[in-house]
Protein backbone atom coordinates (compact mmCIF):
# COMPACT_ATOMS: atom_id res chain seq x y z
CA UNK A 1 0.00 0.00 0.00
CA UNK A 2 1.61 3.26 -1.22
CA UNK A 3 0.81 6.10 1.23
CA UNK A 4 1.97 9.70 0.76
CA UNK A 5 0.25 11.46 3.64
CA UNK A 6 -0.19 8.80 6.32
CA UNK A 7 2.26 6.62 8.21
CA UNK A 8 0.92 3.26 9.38
CA UNK A 9 3.08 1.42 11.90
CA UNK A 10 2.37 -1.77 13.80
CA UNK A 11 3.66 -2.14 17.34
CA UNK A 12 2.63 -5.54 18.68
CA UNK A 13 -1.14 -5.54 19.06
CA UNK A 14 -1.61 -1.87 18.23
CA UNK A 15 -1.44 0.26 15.10
CA UNK A 16 -0.03 3.78 15.18
CA UNK A 17 -1.52 5.96 12.45
CA UNK A 18 0.14 9.34 11.89
CA UNK A 19 -1.34 11.98 9.59
CA UNK A 20 1.82 13.25 7.95
CA UNK A 21 1.43 16.43 5.90
CA UNK A 22 3.12 18.81 8.32
CA UNK A 23 3.81 21.51 5.70
CA UNK A 24 0.02 22.05 5.55
CA UNK A 25 -0.49 21.31 9.26
CA UNK A 26 -1.90 17.90 8.20
CA UNK A 27 -4.88 19.51 6.47
CA UNK A 28 -7.20 16.93 4.95
CA UNK A 29 -7.27 16.97 1.17
CA UNK A 30 -9.01 14.34 -0.97
CA UNK A 31 -5.83 12.30 -1.21
CA UNK A 32 -5.32 12.20 2.57
CA UNK A 33 -8.97 11.30 3.19
CA UNK A 34 -8.69 8.47 0.65
CA UNK A 35 -5.53 7.23 2.35
CA UNK A 36 -7.27 7.25 5.76
CA UNK A 37 -9.99 5.16 4.10
CA UNK A 38 -7.39 2.64 2.85
CA UNK A 39 -5.66 2.50 6.23
CA UNK A 40 -8.96 1.74 7.99
CA UNK A 41 -9.47 -1.21 5.58
CA UNK A 42 -5.95 -2.44 6.26
CA UNK A 43 -6.45 -2.26 10.05
CA UNK A 44 -9.86 -3.90 9.81
CA UNK A 45 -8.51 -6.95 8.04
CA UNK A 46 -5.36 -7.34 10.14
CA UNK A 47 -6.43 -9.65 12.94
CA UNK A 48 -3.21 -8.96 14.88
CA UNK A 49 -4.21 -5.30 15.39
CA UNK A 50 -6.57 -4.92 18.33
CA UNK A 51 -6.45 -1.16 19.03
CA UNK A 52 -5.37 1.98 17.20
CA UNK A 53 -3.66 5.24 18.13
CA UNK A 54 -4.25 8.15 15.75
CA UNK A 55 -2.03 11.22 15.86
CA UNK A 56 -0.52 13.99 13.71
CA UNK A 57 3.06 14.78 12.70
CA UNK A 58 4.54 18.11 13.78
CA UNK A 59 2.70 20.88 15.61
CA UNK A 60 -0.75 19.92 14.42
CA UNK A 61 -3.10 16.98 14.77
CA UNK A 62 -5.14 18.17 11.80
CA UNK A 63 -5.80 21.87 11.08
CA UNK A 64 -9.00 21.10 9.20
CA UNK A 65 -10.04 20.23 5.71
CA UNK A 66 -7.68 21.57 3.06
CA UNK A 67 -8.67 25.17 2.37
CA UNK A 68 -6.49 25.39 -0.77
CA UNK A 69 -8.32 22.44 -2.28
CA UNK A 70 -11.76 23.68 -1.19
CA UNK A 71 -11.41 27.31 -2.23
CA UNK A 72 -12.38 26.76 -5.91
CA UNK A 73 -15.00 24.07 -5.45
CA UNK A 74 -18.50 24.53 -6.86
CA UNK A 75 -21.72 23.29 -5.24
CA UNK A 76 -21.43 19.76 -6.61
CA UNK A 77 -17.76 19.42 -5.75
CA UNK A 78 -18.28 20.89 -2.27
CA UNK A 79 -21.06 18.41 -1.55
CA UNK A 80 -18.97 15.53 -2.89
CA UNK A 81 -16.05 16.53 -0.64
CA UNK A 82 -18.36 16.65 2.39
CA UNK A 83 -19.77 13.23 1.55
CA UNK A 84 -16.25 11.78 1.24
CA UNK A 85 -15.22 13.13 4.66
CA UNK A 86 -18.43 11.89 6.27
CA UNK A 87 -18.05 8.46 4.68
CA UNK A 88 -14.45 8.03 5.87
CA UNK A 89 -15.11 9.33 9.40
CA UNK A 90 -18.18 7.14 9.78
CA UNK A 91 -16.11 4.16 8.71
CA UNK A 92 -13.54 5.04 11.39
CA UNK A 93 -16.29 5.42 13.98
CA UNK A 94 -17.64 2.00 12.98
CA UNK A 95 -14.23 0.29 12.88
CA UNK A 96 -14.65 -2.65 15.23
CA UNK A 97 -11.42 -1.86 17.08
CA UNK A 98 -11.03 0.97 19.59
CA UNK A 99 -9.35 4.12 18.27
CA UNK A 100 -7.58 6.52 20.62
CA UNK A 101 -6.85 10.00 19.33
CA UNK A 102 -3.55 11.45 20.59
CA UNK A 103 -4.18 15.14 19.94
CA UNK A 104 -0.77 16.73 19.71
CA UNK A 105 -1.58 20.23 18.43
CA UNK A 106 -4.10 22.10 16.28
CA UNK A 107 -7.34 20.08 16.20
CA UNK A 108 -9.51 22.34 14.09
CA UNK A 109 -12.48 22.00 11.77
CA UNK A 110 -12.18 18.64 9.99
CA UNK A 111 -9.45 17.76 12.53
CA UNK A 112 -11.84 18.14 15.45
CA UNK A 113 -14.42 16.20 13.44
CA UNK A 114 -11.87 13.42 12.90
CA UNK A 115 -11.13 13.35 16.64
CA UNK A 116 -14.87 13.18 17.37
CA UNK A 117 -15.05 10.01 15.26
CA UNK A 118 -12.60 8.19 17.55
CA UNK A 119 -13.45 6.41 20.80
CA UNK A 120 -11.22 8.15 23.34
CA UNK A 121 -9.44 11.50 23.03
CA UNK A 122 -6.22 12.35 24.87
CA UNK A 123 -4.84 15.85 24.38
CA UNK A 124 -1.43 17.37 24.87
CA UNK A 125 -1.41 20.60 26.88
CA UNK A 126 -0.36 22.24 23.59
CA UNK A 127 -3.47 21.16 21.66
CA UNK A 128 -5.98 23.75 20.45
CA UNK A 129 -9.53 23.01 19.44
CA UNK A 130 -12.23 24.68 17.41
CA UNK A 131 -14.64 24.62 14.50
CA UNK A 132 -13.56 27.74 12.58
CA UNK A 133 -15.68 27.00 9.49
CA UNK A 134 -18.04 30.00 9.80
CA UNK A 135 -15.00 32.29 9.70
CA UNK A 136 -14.41 30.90 6.18
CA UNK A 137 -17.99 31.07 4.93
CA UNK A 138 -18.88 27.40 5.36
CA UNK A 139 -20.48 25.07 7.89
CA UNK A 140 -18.60 22.17 9.50
CA UNK A 141 -18.84 19.45 6.87
CA UNK A 142 -17.34 16.23 8.22
CA UNK A 143 -19.81 15.59 11.07
CA UNK A 144 -19.18 18.63 13.29
CA UNK A 145 -22.77 19.88 13.30
CA UNK A 146 -23.85 16.42 14.47
CA UNK A 147 -21.18 14.77 16.62
CA UNK A 148 -19.99 17.81 18.61
CA UNK A 149 -23.40 18.42 20.20
CA UNK A 150 -23.70 14.72 20.99
CA UNK A 151 -20.35 14.81 22.82
CA UNK A 152 -20.35 18.21 24.63
CA UNK A 153 -24.04 19.17 24.59
CA UNK A 154 -26.03 21.48 22.38
CA UNK A 155 -25.24 24.87 23.96
CA UNK A 156 -21.48 24.36 24.16
CA UNK A 157 -21.39 22.95 20.61
CA UNK A 158 -23.39 25.85 19.22
CA UNK A 159 -21.13 28.35 20.97
CA UNK A 160 -17.98 26.75 19.49
CA UNK A 161 -19.49 26.41 16.02
CA UNK A 162 -21.19 29.85 15.85
CA UNK A 163 -18.17 31.75 17.18
CA UNK A 164 -15.45 29.74 15.42
CA UNK A 165 -13.26 30.45 18.47
CA UNK A 166 -10.26 28.39 19.47
CA UNK A 167 -10.04 26.83 22.94
CA UNK A 168 -7.13 25.26 24.78
CA UNK A 169 -6.84 21.68 26.06
CA UNK A 170 -7.89 22.58 29.61
CA UNK A 171 -11.13 24.12 28.32
CA UNK A 172 -11.66 21.15 25.97
CA UNK A 173 -11.33 18.85 29.00
CA UNK A 174 -13.77 20.95 31.03
CA UNK A 175 -16.29 20.68 28.18
CA UNK A 176 -15.81 16.91 27.87
CA UNK A 177 -14.41 17.25 24.36
CA UNK A 178 -11.27 15.39 25.46
CA UNK A 179 -11.01 12.70 28.10
CA UNK A 180 -7.55 13.46 29.43
CA UNK A 181 -4.83 16.12 29.13
CA UNK A 182 -1.15 15.25 29.46
CA UNK A 183 2.22 16.92 28.90
CA UNK A 184 3.33 16.84 25.24
CA UNK A 185 6.26 14.45 25.96
CA UNK A 186 3.88 11.95 27.61
CA UNK A 187 1.16 12.01 24.95
CA UNK A 188 2.12 9.11 22.71
CA UNK A 189 3.24 6.87 25.58
CA UNK A 190 -0.03 7.54 27.38
CA UNK A 191 -2.12 6.79 24.27
CA UNK A 192 -0.14 3.64 23.46
CA UNK A 193 -0.34 2.39 27.07
CA UNK A 194 -4.11 2.82 26.98
CA UNK A 195 -4.32 1.09 23.59
CA UNK A 196 -2.22 -1.81 24.91
CA UNK A 197 -4.34 -2.17 28.06
CA UNK A 198 -7.41 -2.43 25.84
CA UNK A 199 -5.67 -4.77 23.37
CA UNK A 200 -4.80 -7.18 26.20
CA UNK A 201 -8.48 -7.69 27.07
CA UNK A 202 -10.78 -10.13 25.27
CA UNK A 203 -10.91 -8.72 21.71
CA UNK A 204 -14.36 -9.97 20.78
CA UNK A 205 -15.81 -8.59 24.02
CA UNK A 206 -14.10 -5.22 23.46
CA UNK A 207 -15.41 -5.10 19.89
CA UNK A 208 -18.94 -5.89 21.06
CA UNK A 209 -18.70 -3.19 23.75
CA UNK A 210 -17.85 -0.61 21.07
CA UNK A 211 -20.69 -1.74 18.82
CA UNK A 212 -23.18 -1.80 21.71
CA UNK A 213 -22.21 1.64 23.05
CA UNK A 214 -22.22 3.31 19.62
CA UNK A 215 -25.42 1.65 18.45
CA UNK A 216 -27.17 2.15 21.79
CA UNK A 217 -26.46 5.88 21.85
CA UNK A 218 -28.38 6.26 18.58
CA UNK A 219 -31.55 4.52 19.70
CA UNK A 220 -34.12 4.37 22.52
CA UNK A 221 -33.13 2.76 25.82
CA UNK A 222 -35.31 -0.35 25.43
CA UNK A 223 -33.88 -1.18 21.99
CA UNK A 224 -30.42 -0.40 23.33
CA UNK A 225 -30.75 -2.69 26.35
CA UNK A 226 -32.16 -5.44 24.18
CA UNK A 227 -29.12 -5.08 21.91
CA UNK A 228 -26.88 -5.25 24.98
CA UNK A 229 -28.51 -8.56 25.98
CA UNK A 230 -27.80 -9.90 22.48
CA UNK A 231 -24.10 -9.04 22.53
CA UNK A 232 -23.77 -10.20 26.15
CA UNK A 233 -25.28 -13.54 25.13
CA UNK A 234 -23.03 -13.77 22.08
CA UNK A 235 -19.94 -13.62 24.32
CA UNK A 236 -20.88 -17.02 25.76
CA UNK A 237 -20.22 -18.61 22.36
CA UNK A 238 -16.54 -17.58 22.52
CA UNK A 239 -13.54 -19.55 23.70
CA UNK A 240 -12.26 -16.38 25.34
CA UNK A 241 -15.28 -16.30 27.69
CA UNK A 242 -14.89 -19.95 28.65
CA UNK A 243 -11.15 -19.67 29.15
CA UNK A 244 -11.28 -16.19 30.74
CA UNK A 245 -13.79 -17.27 33.38
CA UNK A 246 -12.03 -20.62 33.80
CA UNK A 247 -8.77 -18.81 34.47
CA UNK A 248 -10.45 -16.57 37.06
CA UNK A 249 -11.89 -19.58 38.88
CA UNK A 250 -8.38 -21.09 38.95
CA UNK A 251 -7.06 -17.85 40.52
CA UNK A 252 -5.38 -16.89 37.23
CA UNK A 253 -6.02 -14.30 34.54
CA UNK A 254 -6.20 -14.48 30.77
CA UNK A 255 -5.53 -10.76 30.32
CA UNK A 256 -2.82 -10.46 27.65
CA UNK A 257 -3.38 -14.06 26.53
CA UNK A 258 -6.84 -14.03 24.96
CA UNK A 259 -7.07 -15.90 21.63
CA UNK A 260 -9.57 -13.62 19.86
CA UNK A 261 -11.78 -16.65 19.32
N1 LIG B 1 -5.87 23.93 4.78
C2 LIG B 1 -4.81 24.15 3.99
N3 LIG B 1 -3.65 24.63 4.42
C4 LIG B 1 -3.54 24.89 5.74
C5 LIG B 1 -4.60 24.67 6.64
C6 LIG B 1 -5.81 24.16 6.12
N7 LIG B 1 -6.87 23.89 6.90
N8 LIG B 1 -4.19 25.06 7.86
C9 LIG B 1 -2.93 25.47 7.73
N10 LIG B 1 -2.53 25.38 6.47
C11 LIG B 1 -1.22 25.75 5.88
C12 LIG B 1 -1.05 27.24 5.83
O13 LIG B 1 -1.70 27.79 4.68
C14 LIG B 1 0.45 27.36 5.78
O15 LIG B 1 0.89 27.08 4.47
P16 LIG B 1 2.11 27.96 3.81
O17 LIG B 1 3.27 27.70 4.71
O18 LIG B 1 2.25 27.35 2.46
O19 LIG B 1 1.65 29.37 3.85
C20 LIG B 1 0.91 26.20 6.67
O21 LIG B 1 -0.19 25.31 6.74
C22 LIG B 1 1.26 26.64 8.07
O23 LIG B 1 0.15 27.35 8.59
P24 LIG B 1 0.27 28.80 9.26
O25 LIG B 1 1.42 29.54 8.69
O26 LIG B 1 -1.08 29.46 9.16
O27 LIG B 1 0.60 28.38 10.75
P28 LIG B 1 0.29 29.21 12.07
O29 LIG B 1 0.99 28.49 13.18
O30 LIG B 1 0.58 30.66 11.88
O31 LIG B 1 -1.29 29.11 12.28
C32 LIG B 1 -3.39 27.91 12.41
C33 LIG B 1 -1.86 27.86 12.58
C34 LIG B 1 -4.00 28.84 13.44
C35 LIG B 1 -3.90 26.50 12.61
C36 LIG B 1 -3.72 28.42 10.98
O37 LIG B 1 -2.95 27.70 10.03
C38 LIG B 1 -5.16 28.25 10.61
O39 LIG B 1 -5.99 29.03 11.05
N40 LIG B 1 -5.47 27.24 9.78
C41 LIG B 1 -6.81 27.00 9.27
C42 LIG B 1 -7.70 26.40 10.33
C43 LIG B 1 -9.09 26.25 9.80
O44 LIG B 1 -9.77 27.20 9.48
N45 LIG B 1 -9.59 24.99 9.73
C46 LIG B 1 -10.91 24.68 9.24
C47 LIG B 1 -10.85 24.34 7.77
S48 LIG B 1 -12.46 24.17 7.06
C49 LIG B 1 -12.97 22.61 7.48
O50 LIG B 1 -12.31 21.88 8.18
C51 LIG B 1 -14.29 22.22 6.88
C52 LIG B 1 -14.85 20.96 7.39
O53 LIG B 1 -15.45 20.90 8.44
C54 LIG B 1 -14.81 19.78 6.57
Please tell me the distance between residue 178's alpha carbon and the centre of ligand 1 in angstroms: 22
From 69, 93, 113, 185, active-site residue: 113
| Per-residue pLDDT tens digits for 123-177 | 999 999 999 999 999 999 999 999 999 999 999 999 999 999 999 999 999 999 9
Number of domains making up the chain: 2
Clarify whether 113 is annotated catalytic.
yes
Evaluate whether residue 258 is within a structural domain.
no
Q: Are residues 38 and 153 in the same domain?
A: yes
Q: Are residues 179 and 52 in the same domain?
A: yes
What CATH number is given to the structural domain containing 216?
Answer: 1.10.12.10
Mean pLDDT in residue range 57-81: 98
| Per-residue pLDDT tens digits for 209-235 | 999 999 999 999 999 999 999 999 999
What's the pLDDT at 166? 98
Range of 180's domain? 6-199
Helix (H) or strand (E) holding 101: strand 99-103
Confidence of residue 97 (pLDDT cuts 50, 70, 90): very high
Q: Are residues 119 and 175 in the same domain?
A: yes
Q: Are residues 44 and 151 in the same domain?
A: yes
pLDDT at residue 243 above 80?
yes
Ligand 1 in reach of 140 Cβ (< 6 A): yes
What's the pLDDT at 9? 98
Q: pTM for the full model? A: 0.98
Nearest Cα to Cα of residue 129 among 163, 70, 172, 66? 172
From 133, 159, 171, 243, active-site residue: 133
Sheet of strand 6-11: strand arrangement: 6-11, 14-19, 51-56, 99-103, 120-124, 180-182
Nearest Cα to Cα of residue 93 among 65, 52, 64? 52
Amino acid sequence: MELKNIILEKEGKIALVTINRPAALNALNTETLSEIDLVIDEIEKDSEILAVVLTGAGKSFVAGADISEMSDKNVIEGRKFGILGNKVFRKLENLEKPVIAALNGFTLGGGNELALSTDIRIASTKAKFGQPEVTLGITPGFGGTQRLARVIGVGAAKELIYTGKMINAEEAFRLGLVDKVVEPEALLDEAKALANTIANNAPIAVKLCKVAINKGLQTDIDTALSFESEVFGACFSTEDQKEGMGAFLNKQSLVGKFKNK
